[in-house]
Structure 1
C-alpha cells in the first residue's frame, strides 16, 4: 500500500515514516520543502505522478503564538492545504487521514469534550484547524479526522524536550498548573494511523468521520513537568531534579490564549476501532530513554560490546 505522508518532518510525520516498514506500507514522505500542500498545481501533479492509495496529512502550522501574527500563513497551511488535499482525494477516490487539535474548543468545560460538542476556538491556531476540518468534511467523504492534544515525542519541538533542557540548566522552575489536558505520544498517534491504514487496505472500508484520540490520564502542565523530571533523573538525563512551583495562567501570559481544559472523550474512537489510548506515563518512559540514548551517543559514550 502506497501512502502519501504530508509533514513528514514533524513529530507525528517522522514517527509514521520510521514505523512504516514494520507496518507493511510503502510511504512517500514529503515535507514543505519538497511538497507544498497549499499549492494546488503541486498537489495535482504529485497525485497524477505517484497515485497514492491513501493520504495522511500531518502537516500543520503549529506555533500557537506565532499564528496570532501570521494568520495568513496559518490559514493557508491549516485550512487551505487540507482543503486542496481533500478535493484531490475525493476526485481520486482516495481516503484522507488528517490530524487536528483540542484547540478547536474554548477550553471552558469541566467534563471531557465529545466530538459532537460545540467548538469555540479562542485563537488563530484553533480557528484555522477547525476551518481545515470543515473543508475536509465538505469535500472528501472518505476522511478520518483525529483530534489529539499535547503531542510529545523524540522528534521536533515539544514540552518534554523543553522541560528536560530547562531542567538541566536551572535549579528551580515555575510551571502552569491550572491548564489540564492529556499528553499524547507522537509514536502512539503514528501507530494508530498505520493500524487503521492497514485495516482499510485489508477490508476496503473504514468507519469514516471525526474522532478524539489522546493519552490518559488527564493532568496539568505542572503534573506533566514533575513526571518528566522524575523520569529524566531516573534515566540519568538530569543530575539533579529541579524544584517545580505551580503557577496560574495569568502569571505566564502568552500572545495566544491557551485552553484551561483540553480533556477529550475518546470513547467513540475506542468503541469504533477497539484501540485503547496509551498511558502517557509509560510512553514518556520510552521517549526519555531514547533521548537519553541519543544524549549518550552525542557525548561519545562508548558502545556496549556484544561479544
Structure 2
C-alpha cells in the first residue's frame, strides 16, 4: 500500500516514532499536531484471521476518535465483514445494522462506532475475505498447509466475496484521492469481489493452480457442520459514490500463487524451466 500512495503528488506519511503508543491520547494528539494530516487512513489492528489485533483495533480507533473529535480531518477506517459474525444472513448490505454477536465482531463494531460518532468526516470500509499470502487469510492458510503437507479444512457453506490485497489498495487509493479533491461521501461502505464463492470452491481453484505449478496435490477436507455466518458483502455505495468497480476474485490469483511457490522453492522443475 505504501508504494502505491508514494506515487501521488501528496506527501504520504507512513513512518512514525517506533515508541508511539496508538492508544495513548496525549502521544497521538502530539503526533497528529506535528504531522498536520489532510486525511488519515486507519489500518491500526486491522487484518484477516490471526493478523487481527483486537485490542489495538478497538482502542486505537477510540483514541483516534478522541483526538479528532469535531475536527474537519477525514478518516478512512479499514474494517471487515466480521462485524456481522453470528447473524445467519446470506449477505450483508451497507445499511444493515450489525448485531455483533461474537467477541471479535464486537471489537470491529466498537472501532467503527467510535469513529462514526466522533469524527464528522469518517468513512468505514468493510472488506470481505482479504486474500493475502501472509497472516491468517484463507489463501495464506491453504498455502501454509500445502507447504507443511497437511490438510486444510474448508466449508462449502461458508461463503464470501474475496478480494486480494492489491484490490483493497486499489479501492482505498481511489477513495482517498477523491476525498482529498473534495468528495463528500461518508459513512459505511462495502468492498468485495464481483462473484460469490464458498471456501471449498476457492480452495479447489487454488489446488488446481498449485498442482499445475508443482505437480503435487493440495489436500482438502470438507467441513460438514453447517455455518450461519456469511462474508458476502453487497457493494452499492462504493460504486455509486466513488466509481470503484468490483472484479472477480479469480483475476490476478494465479500469479500471486505462482510467486509464493517460487519464493518457497516449491515449483516443479518443468515449470521453473
Q: Same fold (TM over 0.5)?
A: yes
Task: Give 3-state SS (helix, strand or coil) of 1:26's partner.
Answer: coil
Where does residue 230 of structure 1 map in the other structure? Answer: 208
How far apart are 1:153 and its partner, in Å? 2.1
Where does residue 244 of structure 1 map in the other structure? Answer: 220
Aligned counterpart for 2:173 among listed residues 179, 184, 194? 194
How far apart are 1:279 and its partner, in Å? 1.1
1:87 aligns with 2:72: no
User: Which structure shows the bigger proportion of residues in helix conformation?
Assistant: 1
Q: Which runs of 5+ in 1 are unaligned?
A: 1-15, 68-72, 251-257, 298-302
How far apart are 1:262 and its partner, in Å? 1.7
- After superposition, what is the alpha-carbon deviation per residue over 1:251-293, rounded to whole angstroms, capped at 9, x for unaligned? xxxxxxx752221110222122211112111132242233244
Contact 2:211 2:218 in 1 (8 A): no
What aligned pairs does 1:149-298 form with structure 2 within 5 A after superposition? 149-170=128-149, 173-202=152-181, 204-234=182-212, 236=213, 238-249=214-225, 260-296=229-265
Q: CA RMSD for the aligned pairs?
A: 3.0
1:44 aligns with 2:67: no
Bigger mean CA deviation after superposition, 283-292 or 265-274: 283-292
- Distance change (3 Å), C-alpha of 1:160 and 1:20: same
Aligned counterpart for 1:127 among listed residues 102, 106, 119? 106
- After superposition, what is the alpha-carbon deviation per residue over 1:111-170, rounded to whole angstroms, capped at 9, x for unaligned? x21111131223111101101111111101111100112112244442212211212333
- Distance change (3 Å), C-alpha of 1:288 and 1:25: farther
How far apart are 1:216 and its partner, in Å? 3.0
Aligned counterpart for 1:108 among listed residues 71, 76, 88? 88
Contact 1:62 1:125 in 2 (8 A): no
Where does residue 115 of structure 2 map in the other structure? Answer: 136
Rounded to whole Å, the distance in 2 between the matches of 1:143 and 1:171 is: 43
Task: Give 3-state SS (helix, strand or coil) of 1:27's partner.
Answer: coil
- Distance change (3 Å), C-alpha of 1:155 and 1:64: closer
Contact 1:114 1:266 in 2 (8 A): yes
How far apart are 1:62 and its partner, in Å? 4.9
Task: Give 3-state SS (helix, strand or coil) of 1:280's partner.
Answer: coil
- Distance change (3 Å), C-alpha of 1:247 and 1:138: same
- After superposition, what is the alpha-carbon deviation per residue over 1:61-109, rounded to whole angstroms, capped at 9, x for unaligned? 6576899xxxxx83x4222311221333345521100011111113411
Contact 2:40 2:74 in 1 (8 A): yes
Contact 1:212 1:268 in 2 (8 A): yes
- Distance change (3 Å), C-alpha of 1:195 and 1:25: farther
Contact 2:210 2:218 in 1 (8 A): no
Q: How many residues align?
A: 268
Contact 1:167 1:229 in 2 (8 A): no
